[in-house]
Amino acid sequence: MNVLPTSSRTRLTTHYGPAVESWLDAVPDLLAAAGRKWNLKLTGYHDAGHASALATAIDPQAGPVMAKIWFDPDRYARETAALRLWHPGVGHVVLASDDELSAAVLRMVGARPGGDEPPPRETALVAEAIQQAHRVGRDTAPGTFPLLADYLSDEILPRIGERRITTVYGNLAARVAPHLSAVFDDPARRTVLHADLYRENVAFNRHGRPVLLDPLPMQGDALFDWAFWTVYYRLDLDTDARLSEAARRTRIARVRILPWCLLLALDGLLYYEETGDPRLNRMSFVLTTLCSYADRGMRR
């Protein structure tokens, strides 16, 4: 394997900072070691992700696979644990792993990077997969994964407070603020969360079934995942349809899911503004629309 693609290196450096540089230099040798360990024929880098390096490969028994190596050993351990929890048995995703290398061999869903083309019933099928993952995760022992409550109190809420000081979207943030008091981590809905439900983290197999990949697993209220999926899965596309599907699956009124959506959308808006992200205007539109839904709900 040659040097890691520049774009992958840039994303990982942006995510982890200068501490990742020496690890990035070692990635070709680490992947080569993983290939030797599992008798893989490495075929090239897959230029994706912000927290790991990926290579396509051929396994003599399993066929096309992904070799994945993580900079953060804790992230490696949590991600592989969640994938084993959600995808056991015949449909298992994690084919092999090595704690010393923080590396794993993953089944290549749909026999190609990114999976097969999503089918027409994409929204309903992904909602079913989220619901199933939550069902499986309910019985997981407390403390197996980080807690959503800590993530909210230690990261999301403080950074929203800091960024609101300088935002030019002050009026919009002020509209959101009254709704955030309705966000609370309900133990009755506690499960293992994916917590990163972007479309690129859901791959479809050749039978048109979705497979949840690349999680940032936590334990907490299932509404966090439903809200993240509503807002981010396809930003500014089919948002209302996902919100309605989330309400139907959970049997929880839209107005009770909306505060979680507003929290996550505001966090994203302020981050996009700070970093000059081109998605800023789209997120502003999404947040404004969600605010209008929530405001109508409050007046009923």
pLDDT in tens, 145-193: 999 999 999 999 999 999 987 788 989 999 999 999 999 999 999 999 9
Characterize the bridge pairing of strands 190-193 and 103-107. Answer: unpaired
Give 51-86 as a DSSP string. Answer: SEEEEEEEETTTEEEEEEEES-HHHHHHHHHHHHHH
35 has a pLDDT exceeding 60: yes
The answer to whether 55 and 42 have CB atoms below 8 angstroms apart is: yes
SS3 23: helix
Token pair of 164 as six digits = 């609101």
Residue 245 and residue 145: Cα distance in Å, rounded?
Answer: 27
Give 83-152 as a DSSP string. Answer: HHHHS-GGG-SEEEEETTTTEEEEE-GGGSTT-BPPPTTHHHHHHHHHHHHHHHHTTSPTTSS-BHHHHI
Mean pLDDT of 20-42: 95
The angle, 0 to 180 degrees and rounded to 10, between the axes of the packed helices 122-137 and 239-250 is: 40
The answer to whether 29 and 2 have CB atoms below 8 angstroms apart is: no
pLDDT band at 12 (very low <50, low <70, confident <90, very high): very high
pLDDT in tens, 105-122: 999 999 888 999 999 999
First to last CA, the chain: 61
The answer to whether 51 and 14 have CB atoms below 8 angstroms apart is: no
Taking the domain 6-107, which CATH number applies?
3.30.200.20
- Decide if 6-107 and 122-299 have a common fold: no
How is residue 25 annotated by DSSP?
H
* Domain 122-299 in this protein, CATH class: alpha beta
300 has a pLDDT exceeding 50: no
Q: Provide the residue ranges of all domains of the chain, joining segments of one domain with +.
A: 6-107, 122-299
Least confident piece of the model among 128-137, 169-178, 213-222 = 169-178
Residue 68 and residue 66: Cα distance in Å, rounded?
Answer: 6
CA 246 remoteness from chain centre:
17
- DSSP β-bridge partners for residue 65: 57, 107
pLDDT in tens, 42-97: 999 999 888 999 999 999 988 999 999 999 999 999 999 999 999 987 779 999 99
Q: Collect contacts of 202-205 with beta carbons under 8 A, ≥24 apart.
A: 202/115, 202/126, 202/129, 202/233, 203/109, 203/110, 203/114, 203/115, 203/116, 204/109, 204/110, 204/115, 204/116, 204/117, 204/118, 204/119, 205/109, 205/110, 205/115, 205/116
pLDDT in tens, 229-274: 999 999 999 999 999 999 999 999 999 999 999 999 999 999 999 9
Between residues 61 and 127, the one the model is more confident about? 127
CA 178 remoteness from chain centre:
27
Q: State the pLDDT at residue 45.
A: 93
pLDDT band at 9 (very low <50, low <70, confident <90, very high): very high
Taking residue 102's Cβ as centre, other Cβ atoms within 10 Å add up to 22
Q: State the pLDDT at residue 1.
A: 67
